[in-house]
Amino acid sequence: MQALWRLGRAPAAAIVDALAGSNGSRDSTVRTILRILERKGFVRHERDGRAFIYLPAVAEGDAQRGAVRDLVARFFGNSPERLVLNLLRHEDVDARELQRLRRLVDREDSE
């Protein structure tokens, strides 16, 4: 999805090319994933002659929010607090990053 959001709209071959440097994906694998993502409603396509031009069907932010909601529900008992505590305990978060997060939380509280 990252490649497709970056490209905006593209044929499968361009998506394969965009991914080639990052993970060495094969053409058939990318096309299969595009079909699965389309079936799930994340991607759509338009025909351009014989080619399919793929487009994101959901905005990146919307997909991220949905994925986080699903993650929180599946693994953290619908508790965002448990997710955040898990991240803070098990990831390398330095003092500067913690201060930045605190400022962001404080800003949200004041709005």
The DSSP-derived string for 26-69 is -HHHHHHHHHHHHHTTSEEEEEETTEEEEEESS-HHHHHHHHHH
Q: Which fold has domain 2-56?
A: Arc Repressor Mutant, subunit A (1.10.10)
Check whether domain 60-110 has CATH 1.10.4040, yes or no: yes
Place of tokens 């994906």: 25
| Confidence at 28, pLDDT banded by 50, 70, 90 | confident
| Confidence at 20, pLDDT banded by 50, 70, 90 | confident
Q: Are 55 and 44 in contact (CB under 8 A)?
A: yes
Its pTM stands at 0.74
Is pLDDT at 26 greater than 90 in this prediction?
no
For the chain, the structural domain boundaries read 2-56, 60-110
Q: What is the pLDDT of residue 19?
A: 86
Question: Residue 43: how many CB atoms within 10 A of its CB?
Answer: 20
| Fold agreement between 2-56 and 60-110 | no
